[in-house]
A and B are shown apart, each in its own frame.
Chain A
Amino acid sequence: MTTTVAGPPGAAPARSAPKGEERRPRRPWAPYLFVSPFYLLYVLFMLVPVGVSLWLSLTEWVGLGPPHWVGLRNYRLLATDISFHRALGNTAVFVLVALCLVVPLALLIAQALNTRGLRVRDLWRTAYFVPIVVSPILVALIFGLVFDRQFGLANALLRALFGTGGADWLGDPDLARVSIALVMLWRWTGYLTVFFLAGLQNVPRELYEAAALDGAGRLRTFTTVTLPALKPVTAFVVVTSFIGAAQIFEEPYLLTGGGPAESTLSVTMFIYRAAFQRQQFGYAAAAAVVLFVLVFGLSRLFNRLLGIGRATS
């Protein structure tokens, strides 16, 4: 027996469907088959490595032969390792530089580049973006020359301007951190500027006109119109900058090698050094787990504070 559905008057009678066809698809597993590659790859390349790292962090392994189970020993050693504490401190400094200097500077430059009537706007945008395109090796070579104590450009400039320029930019612990911060500024500001610029171009022009009608000055317009409108972009930039700076590697690795006296050693460099220079894979994995927990926890905190993912009322 087949069921028929009554159509509107004058319409052709509906085709009769086989029994049960509408309620259950013929291949119920097909959708899962189509999405399975993602989950397979996710498990293979995300969950498995994280799980292996966790397990490895509880062992002592030189890179060959079977790992030896040591329980929480690596974590106990990390807690008293002065080098690791230095690396955490240095990384915190780099994070602060990223959040307190690079992000605000990027916002200011984006605001300047968004000004009406700016000449050769594209040239400026390109100029600010170029550093991120340059190979890190070249960056290290160039800044190595700039910061050379005896024959560097920075000291030559200081000598020409102020008559003194013997600063040991890469050899003095404090100045080495400053040098890394300067390179971070040079390299990442233009990149973040692009995000802010995109955000600025989406701010409705009417809001600025309304602010102008209300008699708001530039600063007032910036704080009451621009900043609130840029909140989603700012939240994204802050969180990604935090994660990037917390995992900083290239700048200190290429420019100072973490020195002098570990003054620019970052946590990722600490992990690399333990694994690939000292053959302490278990210890490196433990440091990586600590970094993961810190970055994940603080990122969640930032997300909550900045309201990322929450619906706006």
Chain B
Amino acid sequence: MSYLPAAPPPPPRRALLRGALGLGTAAALTACGGGSTTPRTSGDVTLGLWTHDPGYEAFFDKGIPEADRAGDFRYHLKVTRAGAPDVVTKLLAQAVAGRGTPDLVGFEIGSFPRMLRGDIAERLLHDFTPDIEAVPGLKEDLLPARTAPFSRDGRVYAFDSDTPMVVYFHRQDLFEKYGLAPSMATWEEFAEAGARVHRDHEASMCVVSTVGSDPGQVVQSFQMLLYQRGGAFFDADGTLVLDSPEAEEVLRFLCRGLRSGFVVEVSDYYGAGMQTALKRGRVIGLPMAIWYKNYGLVTNVPEQKGTWRVRALPRFAKGGGVTAALGGTGFGVVEGKANTRAATEFLFRTWLTHEGQVRRFTETGYLPTRRSVYEDPRLGAYQDEFCGGQRLFGLYRALLPDVPPFHQSPDQSILYDVLGGNLLRAYHGDLSPRQALKQTAADFRDQAGR
């Protein structure tokens, strides 16, 4: 005979409800806690990665074995994707909430200036400066032109994904057909030939964007040539230096080009307007960053594969270089978290290694940010099929010394808003280039620092 204790009577419903409420409250309070900030030093670690581009996600994912081999961590990634401006907005919201921040964040270059407002960057982001100095030779090898956009007061807060050199894309078949010598050396020669081509063939050799909803794009058209000419928006201290003779010269050049047809307006560089212009042969060349091949040309006119070529920008007769830089995405690490050290090491062991930078180019098309990687023979042997099998790395190596630094200011979005409007007025002839720049400087002074 076995003895079985009598089953206890079922708890009353009210007791069950009280218990559930208590458990729920405890769980909610636990979840609201800030989480441990004791730094992890080894073992399994899951890094929260926020990015706007799936290409970066794939890159980091593939880099895990390399990072695992190089250190004491075994990495896993938990990726969240959002629009470029939303990444910053959500990061700040989570930081205010005190929890839920990522470990690794990709800042699209145009969104990063928000992190420079007040002391946000100092409070929230890890300063990589000591880490860079701890790696022998790294500081000298990193291109200052690409650390500048993500730096403040000499501190580096993110590492750029690219050295987005501005080059001149052109249709070789149509250049030959219209009797255009690809060896033309100056913009002035281009403009003269461009006016003739527009008159005879209704085609244009340069483009400006006039998309109303995106001041950034409107500004970019001008920015590329301004930086090539030796001008700038801001200096290293974040002071506005736009109102310069170089800026006036470039804007006058573009306005004249629009009147002659050498330059054509498109609503935006990526949309249907540009696609139509490219397909109809209305645009046969344009200055743009190297990534435009993948994001603009290949997507809009894949059938024109093999007809496009890349060359250095023509020079301005009065001076300047043969390239500029446009775009970029900086990866930063959130400070003061348990995974801060792990995320920093992960970045150094994937993003900044020689192999990592070679792989980044082959997988995503972004140019290295370390000078020494440009000498890698694998990159030198790379042939671009869309550009008729051109070996482009010789060109990139030659352009490298001319890549100008791009300094950002917390008030950059104000500049883009006011400059975009005034550029359009100048393009349409409502303001002279001089007036447009003066008005921009005045509007900026009125709004900045509020």
The stretch of B37-45, B115-123, B173-181 in contact with A is B115-123
A262 touches B428 (CB 8 A): no
A150-203 at interface with B (beta carbon < 8 Å): 150-152, 168, 170-172, 176
A260 touches B420 (CB 8 A): yes
B95 touches A172 (CB 8 A): no
Check if A140 is an interface residue, CB within 8 A of chain B: yes
Neighbour of B410 across the interface among A149, A152, A273, A279, CB < 8 A? A279
Alpha-carbon separation in the docked complex, A280 to B92 (Å): 13
A273 / chain B contacts, CB cutoff of 8 Å: 413, 417
B428 touches A168 (CB 8 A): yes
Smallest CB separation, B427 vs chain A (Å): 8
A232 / chain B contacts, CB cutoff of 8 Å: none
Alpha-carbon separation in the docked complex, A258 to B421 (Å): 10
Most buried by B among A144, A149, A260: A260
A277 touches B85 (CB 8 A): yes
Neighbour of B117 across the interface among A62, A81, A253, CB < 8 A? A62
Check if B210 is an interface residue, CB within 8 A of chain A: yes
B410 / chain A contacts, CB cutoff of 8 Å: 279
B425 touches A81 (CB 8 A): no
Assign chain A's interface to a size class.
35 or more
A116-145 at interface with B (beta carbon < 8 Å): 140, 144-145
Smallest CB separation, B82 vs chain A (Å): 13
Smallest CB separation, A153 vs chain B (Å): 11
A218-274 at interface with B (beta carbon < 8 Å): 253-264, 273
> In chain B, what residue has the closest Cβ to A277?
B413
A260 touches B273 (CB 8 A): no
Alpha-carbon separation in the docked complex, A255 to B266 (Å): 15
Alpha-carbon separation in the docked complex, A185 to B96 (Å): 40
Alpha-carbon separation in the docked complex, A1 to B92 (Å): 71
Check if B450 is an interface residue, CB within 8 A of chain A: yes
Alpha-carbon separation in the docked complex, A82 to B214 (Å): 21
Smallest CB separation, B257 vs chain A (Å): 15
Check if B30 is an interface residue, CB within 8 A of chain A: no
A304 / chain B contacts, CB cutoff of 8 Å: none
B212 touches A276 (CB 8 A): no
B426-450 vs A: 1/0 string, CB under 8 Å? 0010000000000000010011001
A278 / chain B contacts, CB cutoff of 8 Å: 114, 117, 411, 413-414
Check if A63 is an interface residue, CB within 8 A of chain B: yes
Check if A94 is an interface residue, CB within 8 A of chain B: no
> In chain B, what residue has the closest Cβ to A262?
B421
Alpha-carbon separation in the docked complex, A152 to B212 (Å): 14
Smallest CB separation, A68 vs chain B (Å): 10
A257 touches B123 (CB 8 A): no
> In chain A, what residue has the closest Cβ to B271?
A144
Chain B interface, DSSP helix/strand/loop, else mixed? helix
Alpha-carbon separation in the docked complex, A150 to B277 (Å): 9
A276 touches B85 (CB 8 A): yes
Neighbour of A260 across the interface among B212, B265, B411, CB < 8 A? B212
> In chain B, what residue has the closest Cβ to A259?
B212
Smallest CB separation, A103 vs chain B (Å): 27
Check if B165 is an interface residue, CB within 8 A of chain A: no
Smallest CB separation, A147 vs chain B (Å): 8
Check if A10 is an interface residue, CB within 8 A of chain B: no
A280 touches B212 (CB 8 A): no
A171 touches B277 (CB 8 A): no
Most buried by A among B210, B212, B265, B277: B212
Smallest CB separation, B145 vs chain A (Å): 25
> In chain B, what residue has the closest Cβ to A64?
B120
B85 touches A64 (CB 8 A): no
B389-417 at interface with A (beta carbon < 8 Å): 410-411, 413-414, 417
A38-92 at interface with B (beta carbon < 8 Å): 62-65, 77, 81-83
Check if B213 is an interface residue, CB within 8 A of chain A: yes
Alpha-carbon separation in the docked complex, A220 to B292 (Å): 64
Given the known interface contacts A171-B212, A257-B215, A277-B413, the answer about A63 and B273 at a Cβ–Cβ threshold of 8 Å is no
B96 touches A151 (CB 8 A): no
Neighbour of B213 across the interface among A140, A148, A263, CB < 8 A? A140
Check if B350 is an interface residue, CB within 8 A of chain A: no
A168 touches B120 (CB 8 A): no
Smallest CB separation, B396 vs chain A (Å): 32
Alpha-carbon separation in the docked complex, A152 to B85 (Å): 29
A64 touches B123 (CB 8 A): yes
B267 touches A279 (CB 8 A): no
Alpha-carbon separation in the docked complex, A140 to B215 (Å): 16
Check if B338 is an interface residue, CB within 8 A of chain A: no
A254 touches B213 (CB 8 A): yes
Given the known interface contacts A140-B213, A262-B417, the answer about A283 and B450 at a Cβ–Cβ threshold of 8 Å is yes
B413 touches A151 (CB 8 A): no
B256-272 vs A: 1/0 string, CB under 8 Å? 00000000111100011
A81 touches B273 (CB 8 A): no
Smallest CB separation, A277 vs chain B (Å): 5
Check if B163 is an interface residue, CB within 8 A of chain A: no
User: Besides the contacts A168-B210, A170-B210, A257-B214, what 4 more A-B pairs have beta carbons closer than 8 Å?
Assistant: A62-B120, A144-B213, A276-B89, A279-B92
Instruction: Provide 24 A-B residue pairs closer than 8 Å at the C-beta atoms, listed in order of the A residue.
Output: A62-B117, A64-B118, A65-B119, A65-B123, A81-B446, A144-B267, A148-B272, A150-B267, A151-B276, A170-B213, A170-B267, A171-B212, A171-B424, A253-B213, A256-B213, A257-B214, A259-B421, A261-B425, A263-B421, A273-B417, A276-B85, A277-B85, A277-B114, A278-B117
